Amino acid sequence: MIDVRTPVHPAVRRMHRQRRRRWWSTGLGVFTLLLAGGAVLPRLTPAPPPAPVVSTTPRAFGAVPVRPSASAPAPASTAARGPIPARGTGKFGYAPGRGKVLGTKGPVRRFRVAVEHGSGEPVAAFAAEVEATLGDKRSWTGGGRLRLQRVAGRDEHDFTVYLATRDTAATMCERGGVNIRIGGRPYTSCRTTGRAILNLDRWRSSAPTFTRAKVPLRTYRQYVINHEVGHELGKHHQGCPQRGGPAPVMVQQTLTLRGCTPNAWPRRGARELTGPSRF
């Protein structure tokens, strides 16, 4: 192989060697001064790895499901799936314990809540809905003349709110002198002395007067509770006071609105909504 590199003059080589010796001497002197002054040379450390990306889902932060407060009103029970039982066992389970006193003034009337075995409805959910309805300011306790309290099954009481299958409801109502059959089939709910008896068929599926107006099922349930308990409190059936206006709760809204619109509550604002008497 032929070397084609340009030859370096000996004088140039000597100059380069002198420059390298001067550089090393200077560097060694600086290092010596640093050691003499007690300086600590900086220590090079590798850069830390990037922080891992943490998921922002509740699980990443150890969150637990939030349980409803004991003081919060229980949600309304939802309609059970499947066919509605026409007949249960004829025996009832009662909501245990005592609820808070509903209302602020007036005498206290105590009531029980019961659900027929075989109806497919939990008694706790039904009791919570009854209490939430009767404790609302728009209900019977809102006028300051009456208070209500739910008590246990064996406690002394003034009346009971029952949820029963249609055949059982028909039997209970007939014993009290009320026929709830429409076209031969038990259809409506009823009140007999000391008993507000709600028909499971209506509790699950509402009534055409409400469904045609696209009124939620929960509103119908509030209506039927207020209506039948209203009878127990001495209220009678009423008519529509103004066509197109809200129906008084004592109108038989399950069957007809008599020109009014569906309404679940006895009170509107500071007064009780009433209509012409219909015994």
How much is the pLDDT for 82?
83
Query: Which residue in the block uniquely carries the two structure tokens 């299958």?
Result: 165
pLDDT, tens digit, 9 for 90 and up, residues 221-254? 999 999 999 999 999 999 999 999 999 999 999 9
Query: Could you tell me the pTM of the whole model?
Result: 0.73
How much is the pLDDT for 278?
85
Tell whether the model's pLDDT for residue 133 goes beyond 50.
yes
- Is residue 87 within 8 Å of residue 132, measured between CB atoms? no
pLDDT, tens digit, 9 for 90 and up, residues 7-56? 444 444 554 455 555 544 444 443 333 334 444 433 434 444 433 333 33
Domains delineated in the chain: 92-272 (3.40.390)
